[in-house]
């Protein structure tokens, strides 16, 4: 719906580099007897009372919160946990290294993204040798001759423990590159400017931003979003004029409602700048004239509670993707001279109760729209002149498809396609006849053959009768549907985010060792449309956890996995899922990995000073209201820890995490150690220089995956 910078897909491609080299080496690990003398850290208890709704909770580990991340007691505890984890997992180091090399060797060291055209240039990224970061380049032709280096991130990252580029934006005259960088991993970006003629950096710096950059059309100013340093909310849109100090920047919009995120983008024809107002249950847009250096924003239509819409400009009209009287969304259209009233919207694509309309892309003579029916993506191409339409066809039963890089209005659609057995593939589609041209398939080094693997889509009946989609993948020659294979189950189930069935070269290290990999598309996602999401949030959140447990039980009963060889993984809100599941059904899992887990739900949601809390009320509920407090408390992983046996647990976090603060998993681990009645492993690792996404760098990130896989394989061998 919005104009994406061509580097967007370059980052997507870098994240999805895939390949395979099967190996079945087994090195018997050290037995638990040799580890029994290693003592886990015991955190000090300092009771902290919290009272609301006539209910008092005691948090013995509240002292672990240090917003400055400098308290010696807190850092000492985290380091003690890291030391304990290192000792307990020392015997797996050779396997971790083996897995790391395995995964690394599947990735092509020299690999370029598919160039994307934007204006006069084609933009792409290059990965070279052992470089951890991309090199951003541009050329005046698709083949990449006479390319110009825009940014070598490897040079910028030298000497940094963490480095991430937020976005890049080239001025309309192609003379200046603006880019944003984060060297702390708190997602607070500094914007810098580079003269593309001299290669020199301009002196001005823009600090405390979200990282988004959109240029005005005269090339003398750009827009950015400033963040609140405490809550990390981006809430102010500023206009910066080149050659001036940040203090002189013009404030053009300030968000007063802290339940909304703020974003900026640009229309495909470059005439309008969009300010995007995004809350969980309401979405809207304001417009700025990109040709007027003094323009102020104008509402597309006034914001309303419960009304969601996004827009795409096409000539003198706007197409509106909206939930207006359409829970699964429909497409409307309005003339550019009739803005301000939704009554002026005319229907283009009607609402369908069983199909969610997800995305559109507009070209001179064609409308492309993407929808999801019974969990499967479908893409249609409609001729705007005749009304005739055709559906794109694909071979896999379950797949993932993204529209990207469509910055021009010419009749070719760029898309990215992948499935559980198909590496990421980039296509251009001729909109006149739907002929597909494969531009690139992500290289898979080693002896990977897609035909060695199989994928299935199942529907599991949950305890309340709902049918939960599950996507499976396994290696054909190691799979037996007799309940003997180890099973790895992944889930997320929040924010309407759908875990797409996509290829992973890292995952092959499990499949080649006999694992069945399952993605449970539980409620809280939108795999089965918007109602699937609504039935897994706020006062129906327990459905998310029930679905995950019911999927596990059904897969074991149907012979896809051995009952004593089940592993589960989730991160962030998926870490909340893991925490709730092991409180409610710990006996089902041999091992669980919870990465950056959101586990202290009630305390966090009661504290609006914690970053991003206010944006979450429409997802979880506001516990200042008793009905939500009671419900959230009933499943909050931290609050519901009890004296019982728990699975073997691997927990990870980042000290500078901006999404889920490090002290949530730290407190959770300390309380689990105090309550659990088993001798199972509980190891906790904090990346002391990283945030929510973990360490930076394409190869360094693999070490965390290798750690998780080695943890699970070690448990499997010692079972």
Residues ≥6 apart with Cβ < 8 Å to 520: 460, 468, 470, 489, 490, 491, 493, 547, 548, 551, 552
Task: Return d(Cα 546, Cα 706) in angstroms, integer.
Answer: 29
Residues ≥6 apart with Cβ < 8 Å to 496: 524, 525, 526, 530, 533
Task: Return d(Cα 454, Cα 551) in angstroms, integer.
Answer: 19
Task: Give yes or no: 595 in active site.
Answer: no
DSSP secondary structure, 550-619, as one string: HHHHHHHHTTSS-TTSEEEEEETHHHHHHHHHHHH-GGG-SEEEEES----HHHHHT-TTSTTGGGGHHH
Q: Strand 298-299 vs strand 272-278: parallel, antiparallel, or unpaired? A: unpaired
Q: Is the Cβ–Cβ distance between 585 and 549 less than 8 Å?
A: yes
CA distances from 156 to 163, 180, 205, 230 (A): 8, 12, 16, 27
Which tokens hold the place of 338?
A: 């009739």
Task: Return d(Cα 168, Cα 147) in angstroms, integer.
Answer: 17
Catalytic residue of the set 572, 636, 658, 696: 572
Beta bridge partners of 683: 650
Handedness of CA 613, 617, 619, 625 (dihedral sign): positive
DSSP secondary structure, 490-522, as one string: E----TT--------TTTHHHHTTT-EEEEE--
3-state secondary structure of 56: strand
H helix or E strand, kind and range, residue 412: strand 412-419
Question: Which residue is it, tokens 């006996």?
Answer: 587
CB-based burial of residue 387 (10 Å sphere; 0-12 exposed, 13-18 middle, 19+ buried)?
exposed
φ/ψ bin of 261: left (φ > 0), alpha (ψ from -120 to 50), beta (otherwise)? beta
Task: Return d(Cα 653, Cα 688) in angstroms, integer.
Answer: 9
Q: Strand 591-595 vs strand 566-571: parallel, antiparallel, or unpaired? A: parallel
C-alpha atoms less than 13 angstroms from C-alpha of 595 in its C-beta half-sphere: 18
**Terminal Cα distance for the chain, rounded:** 50
3-state secondary structure of 442: coil
CB-based burial of residue 465 (10 Å sphere; 0-12 exposed, 13-18 middle, 19+ buried)?
exposed
Catalytic residue of the set 595, 692, 696, 714: 692
Q: Is the Cβ–Cβ distance between 236 and 254 less than 8 Å?
A: yes
C-alpha atoms less than 13 angstroms from C-alpha of 666 in its C-beta half-sphere: 30
Task: Give yes or no: 572 in active site.
Answer: yes
Task: Give yes or no: 68 in active site.
Answer: no
Q: Strand 189-195 vs strand 176-182: parallel, antiparallel, or unpaired? A: antiparallel
Catalytic residue of the set 657, 658, 696, 714: 657
Neighbours of 673 (CB within 10 A): 15
User: Which residues are designated catalytic?
Assistant: 572, 657, 692
């Amino acid at each position: 719906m919005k104009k994406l910078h061509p580097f967007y897909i370059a980052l997507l491609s870098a994240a999805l580099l895939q390949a395979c080299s099967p190996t079945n080496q087994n090195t018997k690990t050290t037995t638990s007897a040799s580890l029994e003398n290693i003592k886990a850290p015991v955190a000090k208890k300092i009771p902290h009372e919290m009272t609301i709704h006539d209910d008092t909770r005691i948090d013995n580990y509240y002292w672990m919160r240090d917003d400055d991340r400098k308290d010696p007691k807190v850092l000492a505890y985290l380091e003690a946990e890291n030391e304990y984890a290192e000792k307990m997992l020392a015997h797996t180091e050779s396997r971790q290294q083996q897995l790391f090399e395995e995964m690394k060797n599947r990735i092509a060291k020299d690999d370029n993204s598919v160039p994307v055209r934007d204006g006069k240039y084609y933009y792409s990224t290059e990965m070279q040798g052992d470089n951890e970061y991309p090199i951003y380049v541009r050329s005046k032709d698709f083949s990449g001759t006479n390319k110009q280096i825009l940014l070598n991130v490897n040079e910028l990252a030298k000497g940094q423990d963490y480095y991430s580029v937020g976005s890049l934006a080239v001025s309309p005259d192609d003379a200046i590159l603006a880019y944003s960088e984060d060297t702390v991993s708190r997602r607070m970006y500094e914007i810098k400017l580079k003269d593309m003629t001299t290669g020199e950096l301009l002196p001005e710096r823009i600090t405390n931003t979200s990282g988004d950059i959109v240029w005005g059309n005269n090339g003398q100013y750009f827009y950015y979003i400033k963040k609140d340093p405490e809550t990390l909310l981006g809430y102010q849109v500023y206009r910066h004029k080149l050659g001036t100090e940040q203090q002189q920047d013009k404030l053009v919009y300030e968000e007063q409602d802290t339940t909304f995120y703020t974003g900026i983008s640009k229309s495909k024809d470059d005439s309008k700048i969009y300010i995007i107002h995004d809350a969980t249950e309401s979405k809207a847009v304001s417009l700025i004239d990109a040709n007027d250096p003094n323009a102020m924003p104008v509402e597309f239509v006034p914001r309303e509670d419960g009304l969601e819409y996004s827009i795409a400009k096409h000539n003198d009209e706007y197409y509106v993707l909206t939930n207006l009287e359409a829970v699964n969304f429909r497409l409307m259209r309005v003339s550019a001279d009739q803005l301000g009233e939704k009554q002026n919207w005319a229907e283009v694509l009607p609402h369908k109760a069983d199909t969610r309309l997800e995305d559109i892309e507009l070209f001179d003579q064609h409308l492309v729209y993407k929808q999801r029916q019974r969990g499967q993506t479908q893409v249609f191409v409609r001729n705007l002149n005749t009304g005739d339409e055709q559906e794109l066809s694909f071979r896999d039963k379950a797949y993932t498809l993204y529209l990207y890089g469509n910055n021009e209005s010419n009749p070719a659609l760029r898309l990215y396609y992948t499935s559980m057995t198909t590496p990421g593939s980039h296509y251009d589609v001729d909109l006149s006849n739907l002929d597909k041209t494969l531009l690139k398939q992500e290289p898979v080094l080693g002896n990977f053959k897609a035909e060695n693997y199989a994928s299935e889509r199942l529907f599991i009946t949950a305890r309340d009768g709902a049918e939960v989609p599950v996507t499976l993948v396994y290696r054909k020659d190691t799979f037996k549907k007799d309940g003997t294979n180890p099973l790895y189950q992944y889930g997320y189930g929040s924010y309407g985010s759908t875990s797409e069935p996509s290829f992973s070269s890292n995952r092959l290290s499990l499949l080649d060792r006999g694992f069945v990999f399952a993605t449970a598309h539980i409620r809280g996602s939108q795999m089965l449309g918007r109602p699937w999401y609504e039935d897994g949030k706020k006062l129906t959140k327990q459905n998310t956890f029930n679905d995950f447990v019911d999927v596990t039980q059904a897969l074991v009963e149907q012979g896809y996995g051995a009952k004593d060889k089940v592993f589960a993984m989730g991160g962030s809100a998926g870490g909340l899922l893991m925490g709730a599941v092991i409180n409610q059904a710990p006996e089902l899992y041999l091992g669980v990995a919870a990465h950056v887990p959101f586990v202290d739900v009630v305390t966090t949601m009661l504290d609006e000073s914690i970053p991003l809390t206010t944006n979450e009320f429409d997802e979880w509920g506001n516990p200042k209201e008793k009905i939500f407090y009671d419900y959230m408390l009933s499943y909050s992983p931290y609050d519901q820890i009890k004296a019982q046996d728990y699975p073997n647990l691997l927990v990870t976090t980042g000290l500078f995490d901006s999404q889920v603060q490090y002290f949530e998993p730290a407190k959770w681990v300390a309380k689990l150690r105090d309550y659990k009645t088993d001798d199972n492993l509980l190891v906790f690792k904090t990346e002391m220089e990283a945030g929510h996404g973990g360490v930076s760098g394409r190869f360094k990130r693999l070490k965390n995956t290798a750690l998780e896989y080695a943890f699970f394989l070690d448990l499997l061998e010692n079972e």
